[in-house]
């Protein structure tokens, strides 16, 4: 079988949809398939053997014979879909295990190395780990409804399939700051922000580590922005402009938290007259803003700072090798892609700060307590997560951070 050269750099396919990306991921080659793996993929028609058209009634009948589908997920929202999925597909039980991103990935890897094939679908972020720990070892393979091929950009179906993309950005207290108090990431290195920056510890939090690693990987963009902000070329005392930005943030003595919940609460506290600005907060945390059940937090995200709003990364859903219920897995993936209005399996994820991978949406996520808030992805400029760069560089960045933060 000829091997496809899979390019993650096809982000240009949908630049018009999501704005001008910088720091695009590099080209990636698919792993060579052993004969037994190739035979299984051909039998279940996924990965390189995915057909151009699927008879979904035939798939459903086969799924009923399988009886259930097992999904390992990082999101508690997935559990809320169980009842609706089972009512849509009587005879197919949805078995959900909420394990967190790291837990879900590690469980698939550990089980498969032991010859245990329990999961059908892995539904989580952590692209770098999934790519290198699972996909490269023939433990995970893509499948998407072929009728959606024209509305799912290639970067979100090869080499792995994304349901949606999420983001990390800078948040501020909207009561204290009626408008965004910074214009550039470099503003965080200025003296007025000393002691007023907060973030989750990138030593112990993978998503925060991904963000600071992405900062290092996009050093050229930061160097250009430095000259724009300060009117002079950057003078390097570290390996590149990304490290220089992190050095400046560290010099301003950031408050380090162990949990995102604590970070969100301190940034959005409506009683705090001198709140910090928060780095690497999930964009979807806007859902907490003004919600009385969460303390009516005064939260707002930056949407127009330079050189980037933040980090955009996919949340993936793919079928595991030797999935015991492959037809039921196909049905569940079809369901999770939802409809054009953010319904069905997309419903709990169709929130402000999450964007579906499919491009044919006819509606935008809304916030109940901020009804006039509209954040179309095409209006913002993000750095796209580079799973290869993250994998190769994050350990070095983490070590540098540990040495310099103390």
Q: Which helix (H) or strand (E) holds 172?
A: strand 162-173
Clarify whether residues 171 and 275 are in a common domain.
Answer: yes
- Cβ contacts of 248 within 8 Å, gap of 6 or more: 186, 188, 189
Clarify whether residues 219 and 93 are in a common domain.
Answer: no
**Domain ranges, residue 176:** 167-310+388-405
Q: For the whole model, what pTM was predicted? A: 0.85
Q: What is the pLDDT of residues 355-389, one digit of tens each?
A: 999 999 988 887 777 777 777 777 889 999 999 99
Q: Are 280 and 211 in contact (CB under 8 A)?
A: yes
Q: Which residue do the tokens 């009516």 mark?
A: 296
Burial of 121 (C-beta count, 10 Å sphere; 0-12/13-18/19+): buried
Q: Are 296 and 103 in contact (CB under 8 A)?
A: no
* pLDDT at res. 22: 39
Rounded Cα gap, residues 32 and 131, in angstroms: 14
Beta bridge mates, 317: 123
What percent of the chain clears pLDDT 90, i.e. is strictly above it?
A: 79
Rounded Cα gap, residues 89 and 72, in angstroms: 19
Report yes or no on 382 lying in a domain.
Answer: no
Clarify whether residues 255 and 401 are in a common domain.
Answer: yes
Clarify whether residues 215 and 129 are in a common domain.
Answer: no
Report yes or no on 76 lying in a domain.
Answer: yes
Q: What is the pLDDT of residues 7-22, one digit of tens each?
A: 333 333 333 344 434 3
What are residue 93's phi and psi, to 5 degrees?
-85, 140
* Cis preceding linkage at 134, omega within 30: no
Q: What is the pLDDT of residues 212-253, one digit of tens each?
A: 999 999 999 999 999 999 999 999 999 999 999 999 999 999
Rounded Cα gap, residues 319 and 299, in angstroms: 37
- Cβ contacts of 179 within 8 Å, gap of 6 or more: none
Clarify whether residues 358 and 263 are in a common domain.
Answer: no
Clarify whether residues 153 and 177 are in a common domain.
Answer: no
Q: What is the pLDDT of residues 168-189, one digit of tens each?
A: 999 999 999 999 999 999 999 9
Report yes or no on 375 lying in a domain.
Answer: no
CATH number for the domain harbouring residue 113: 3.40.190.10
Rounded Cα gap, residues 152 and 338, in angstroms: 13
* pLDDT at res. 377: 76
Clarify whether residues 208 and 103 are in a common domain.
Answer: no
Rounded Cα gap, residues 309 and 336, in angstroms: 27
Clarify whether residues 144 and 254 are in a common domain.
Answer: no
Q: Which helix (H) or strand (E) holds 282?
A: strand 277-282
Clarify whether residues 146 and 215 are in a common domain.
Answer: no
Q: Can you read off the two tokens belonging to residue 88?
A: 């849509």
Report yes or no on 79 lying in a domain.
Answer: yes
Rounded Cα gap, residues 22 and 185, in angstroms: 15
Number of structural domains (the chain) is 2
Rounded Cα gap, residues 143 and 317, in angstroms: 8
Q: How confident is the model at residue 24 (pLDDT cuts 50, 70, 90)?
A: very low
- Cβ contacts of 190 within 8 Å, gap of 6 or more: none
Rounded Cα gap, residues 153 and 155, in angstroms: 5
Nearest to 222 by CA among 242, 248, 246: 242
Nearest to 101 by CA among 122, 132, 78: 122
- Cβ contacts of 62 within 8 Å, gap of 6 or more: 327
Report yes or no on 280 lying in a domain.
Answer: yes
CB atoms within 10 A of CB 72: 25
What percent of the chain clears pLDDT 70, i.e. is strictly above it?
A: 92
Mean pLDDT for all residues in the chain: 90
* pLDDT at res. 371: 73
Report yes or no on 380 lying in a domain.
Answer: no
Report yes or no on 194 lying in a domain.
Answer: yes
Q: 229-259 in b/e burial notation, b at 16+ Cβ within 10 A? A: beeeebeeebebbbbbbbebbeebebebbee
Clarify whether residues 242 and 347 are in a common domain.
Answer: no
Clarify whether residues 122 and 70 are in a common domain.
Answer: yes
Clarify whether residues 117 and 142 are in a common domain.
Answer: yes
Rounded Cα gap, residues 174 and 178, in angstroms: 5
Q: Which residue do the tokens 């006039």 mark?
A: 372
Q: What is the pLDDT of residues 299-350, one digit of tens each?
A: 999 999 999 999 999 999 999 999 999 999 999 999 999 999 999 999 999 9
The pLDDT of residue 6 is above 60:
no
Report yes or no on 46 lying in a domain.
Answer: yes
Nearest to 124 by CA among 82, 159, 72, 87: 72
Burial of 105 (C-beta count, 10 Å sphere; 0-12/13-18/19+): buried
């Amino acid at each position: 079988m000829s091997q496809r050269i899979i390019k993650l750099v096809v982000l240009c396919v949908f630049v018009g949809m999501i704005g001008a990306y910088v720091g695009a991921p590099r080209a990636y080659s698919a792993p060579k398939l052993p004969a037994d793996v190739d035979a299984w993929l051909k039998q279940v028609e996924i990965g390189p053997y995915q057909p151009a058209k699927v008879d979904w009634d035939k798939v459903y009948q086969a799924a009923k014979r399988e009886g259930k589908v097992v999904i390992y997920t990082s999101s508690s929202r997935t559990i809320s879909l169980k009842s609706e999925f089972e009512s849509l597909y009587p005879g197919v039980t949805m078995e959900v295990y909420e394990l967190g991103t790291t837990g879900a990935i590690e469980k698939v890897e550990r089980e498969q190395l032991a010859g245990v094939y329990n999961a059908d679908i892995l539904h989580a972020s952590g692209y770098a780990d999934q790519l290198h720990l699972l996909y490269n070892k023939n433990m995970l393979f893509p499948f998407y409804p072929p009728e959606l091929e024209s509305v799912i950009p290639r970067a979100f179906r090869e080499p792995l399939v994304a349901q949606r993309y999420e983001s990390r950005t800078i948040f501020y207290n909207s009561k204290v700051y009626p408008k965004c108090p910074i214009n550039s990431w470099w503003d965080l290195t200025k003296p007025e922000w000393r002691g007023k920056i907060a973030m989750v510890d990138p030593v112990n939090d993978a998503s925060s580590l991904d963000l600071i690693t992405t900062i290092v990987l996009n050093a050229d963009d930061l160097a250009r922005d430095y000259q724009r902000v300060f009117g002079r070329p950057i003078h390097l005392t570290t390996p590149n402009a990304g490290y220089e930005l992190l050095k400046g943030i560290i010099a301003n003595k950031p408050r380090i938290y162990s949990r995102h919940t604590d970070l969100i609460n301190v940034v959005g506290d409506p009683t705090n007259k001198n709140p910090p600005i928060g780095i690497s907060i999930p964009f979807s945390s806007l859902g907490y803003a003004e919600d009385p059940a969460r303390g009516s937090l005064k939260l707002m995200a930056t949407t127009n700072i330079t050189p980037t709003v933040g980090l955009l990364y996919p949340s993936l859903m793919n079928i595991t090798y030797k999935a015991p219920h492959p037809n039921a897995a196909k049905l569940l993936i079809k369901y999770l892609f939802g409809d054009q209005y953010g319904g069905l399996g997309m419903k709990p994820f169709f929130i402000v700060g999450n964007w579906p991978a499919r491009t044919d949406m006819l509606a935008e996520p809304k916030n109940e307590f901020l009804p006039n808030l509209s954040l179309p992805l095409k209006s913002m400029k993000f750095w796209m997560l580079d799973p290869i760069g993250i994998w190769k560089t994050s350990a070095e960045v983490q070590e540098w951070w540990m040495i310099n933060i103390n």
